[in-house]
Structure 1
Amino acid sequence: VPVIRLLLLILHLQCRAQKDNVVQPQGDVTAAEGEAVTLHCGYNSSRNGPSLYWYRQDGNQSPKFILSRFKLDEGNTEEHFKERFSSSLNSDLRSVPLKIQKLQVSDSAVYYCAVEPTVTGNNTTLYKNLWSKDNTILHNIH
């Protein structure tokens, strides 16, 4: 049975005034094909009812939108992911776990959790900052 490895990184979006961020307790997750996994993501937000997002990055490709959650099960899920990917926003626990059913080898990727706003910058240039668990910047996505 092939082993599937999922790498979780924090998409920490620096909001200086609001101090909104996500907290990713796991690093690598390893599971067998056909199993189910839950990728955990906690968040801090100064907003009442923040928007949270999950993205997936395969290899050197750009991150792809999986889903968004605004409260409980409200939000959008990209059509390609609707069958096996789900999430519920728990505002009491401040978490938005991503559940993946029936793992496939093609699910091996880097998964990002983000809290709105997901971009900072001016009208012409938008920046996304990727941060590691020890709060060192990994790289910018422009």
Structure 2
Amino acid sequence: MRNWLILHVLSACCFGCRAEENVIQPTEDVMVVEGQPTTLACIFDTTDLSPYLFWYKQQTNSNPMFMLRRDTFGAGETSTEFKERFHARLNVTAKSVPLTIQKVQLSDSAVYYCALRPTVTTVYSAPLQKL
């Protein structure tokens, strides 16, 4: 018996984006059989000649988690827990950065966001000390 999963795909708002910049994820829900690969589409539009594209994963009742970043002139960055089965390649000519998930697992059921600029930031805090 095959288990079907639904992956939800949403476009994230750009943080500090200009009016001519946007991200489009043409498919909102992707149904996939557990154990099979799938690809989530992300198309972007920007006048930036070296854009940074991000993928985030958000599971029910939790904050979005940074998955990976792809940019024009570097290898980008991938969070440790996503290095093995999650891959994306930035195609500046086609203005796309599809996310491929190998061997989809039940734990992959989530909402996936593609973003043109970072939308989740880490706030570092240190305990206050009296001098």
Paired residue secondary structure (1:80): helix
Percent of aligned pairs with the same amino acid: 44
Coordinate RMSD, CA, aligned: 1.8
CA distance in 2, matches of 1:99, 1:73: 19
1:93 aligned residue: 94
Long gaps (5+) in structure 2 = 121-131
CA distance in 2, matches of 1:5, 1:118: 24
Shift of 1:17: 3.7
Paired residue secondary structure (2:77): coil
Long gaps (5+) in structure 1 = 120-142
Question: Radius of gyration: which is bigger?
Answer: 2
Shift of 1:79: 0.5
Q: Where has structure 1 moved over 3 Å in runs of 4 or more? A: 14-18
Shift of 1:34: 0.5
* CA 33–21 in structure 1, closer or farther in 2 if over 3 Å, else same: same
Return the TM-score normalized by structure 2.
0.84
Which region of structure 1 is more displaced relative to structure 2, 16-25 or 82-91? 16-25
1:5 aligned residue: 6
- What are the Cα deviations for residues 22-64 of structure 1, in whole angstroms up to 9, with x where unaligned? 0111010000110000000000112111000000000010000
